[in-house]
Chains A and B, each alone.
Chain A
């Protein structure tokens, strides 16, 4: 089944109608019908089906909790994908929004006894304020400078929550109330596994829709060529800020539920290493690709766990794996198939000898 959908992946990624009508083989069966909706859909549904029964199948809390961490990183990676993947801005402080969500929820839950769901909108607003505050002055900077500014923002947030008494200092906050939805209180690891599963599916769907919207196309245009996008009437700075804000919303919602799932939160979970994990997930999976971000999150979390048999050398093995994947497949494990237009342009250029290739080879490449 994956093979078939892969064959279809290229054309129907582009636009559902015009191009795919020409290039798709005669359709038959449910699988193809699903593929026509979206090429990755059959694979995704199978994966989702397996995931839905995971806690029942393995009966192992450790495995379920690792799976839950995978889902959490998936949610974060989907958020960062707006910023890094779609808009092409390198963000090294994404954990800041994760922290803002977690801490807002934690504080409101422990000090004011708010229900978790009621804290989510507050956390979202808080992280949006953070995004606007840091984004407005800095998104005009060169993308490399942006990397270090976001890094600094992440460090500052972690520094603040570590040092303020109100946020519990280095020990953080504990005793966060469990999530309760419609009278149902969720207390178990398996329960939160399902919570994050729902969140992952929701985020994936929203990401997918947004990517195909005017907003998503504007982001992609900015990533491919900022000046051209600007010339086409896209308000570059404003749309960059939107990408940053969209990412912050994902980060903070994930953070809110993270607090509820783990009962206690502490500053080390929100440091630079967490931000790097998210960047790794996005880049390993394939920059800009939604499925890639999901897959990357899985690899980043699962492989160190699998290498646990190597004891202290497990991160050594993980490092080697990381280098190896990036050297052999720099475009990521499941790269973005693109909007197709770029590929078409290249094939046209190839067929017309002497026609300059689209200016892809400037020093550095595109995703800085």
Chain B
């Protein structure tokens, strides 16, 4: 085995990793602030993909891609994803603030069922794989005989920019300080005059918006959408978030990229059917060696 065999897999994994990282950041932030594994998060991504599909289908004439349309559909989808996440938090999770976390998690599973089967029952969406209305052009450049398109580059750049922006908000702004305060101790944060409900809402909005961005970019990249794709991607994103050290943005990003690359390389080396095993094996190994994840702080659990 030489490196040249693995390099294309690593690059392909970078794309999967970019999507995973976008979803994982939302997962991780929600977890950080509520200690909730939000199983519905992957379905925010899925629903956002369907929203962008319908919007693009309406505005697109023929199959020619109109970047102006893609950009505003992307922005609207991000807002839609954010609003959806906020609505779910407001309607389901907020009334359960004082309930055991396991109960909230089961409610999240219920939300996930509702979203998936809701999409399944909406005319025009349904259970089939739907081809995405626009196909990005294949113009690009070659490295070592492998073709990369400009769209792929743009996708990675978008992911990096968005995640950096969120990292900046969380770690460098007053608002982010409030978020971290709420995550650390909700009661104390309230006493400091922080409107915790609003902060939690905002965290859900950011998570949902990132899932929306992942939905648009990955649908462009893979060219098709399906109502079940969200749940499995969500699981992978959760795995990625844990691998990187759950609760912090940088960890989720690193975990997402790493898991994407591992899955892709695993597929290349052992075949697609073993990719999942490879990825989870890596997770088990990571947590065994570093029980708080790659970038996780060493905190004693006292909950």
Contact = CB atoms under 8 A, between A and B. Distances in A.
Interface of A: 84, 90, 137-138, 140-145, 147-149, 151-153, 155-156, 159-160, 162-163, 226-227, 272, 276, 279-280, 283-284, 287, 312-313, 315-316, 318-323, 326-327, 330-332, 361-368
Nearest to B279: A152
A198 B217 CA distance: 54
Q: Please report whether the interface of chain A is mostly helix, strand, loop or mixed according to DSSP.
A: helix
A284 to B, nearest CB: 7
Interface string B92-103: 100110111111
A149 B283 contact: yes
Contact of A365 (B100, B116, B187, B283): B100
B114 A316 contact: yes
Given A152-B284, A312-B121, A315-B117, A323 B101 contact: no
Interface stretch (B15-23, B128-136, B235-243): B235-243
A148 B239 contact: yes
A368 B101 contact: yes
Contact of B303 (A147, A152, A368): A368
A363 B185 CA distance: 7
B291 A280 contact: no
For this complex, into which size category does the number of interface residues on chain B fall?
35 or more
B109 A280 contact: yes
B242 A144 contact: yes
B114 A323 contact: yes
A278 B37 CA distance: 17
B37 A147 contact: yes
Contacts, number: 157
A319 B114 contact: yes
A319 B101 contact: no
B6 interface: no
Contacts of A276: 109
A367 B100 contact: yes
Contacts of B283: 148-149, 152
B277 interface: yes
Interface string B259-284: 00000000000000110110011011
Contacts of B140: none
B114 A145 contact: no
A137 B102 CA distance: 23
Contacts of A152: 239, 280, 283-284
26 contacts: A138-B287, A149-B283, A149-B287, A155-B277, A156-B276, A156-B281, A162-B273, A279-B102, A283-B106, A312-B120, A315-B117, A316-B117, A319-B113, A322-B106, A322-B107, A323-B114, A326-B96, A326-B107, A327-B95, A331-B100, A331-B103, A363-B35, A364-B101, A365-B101, A367-B103, A368-B35
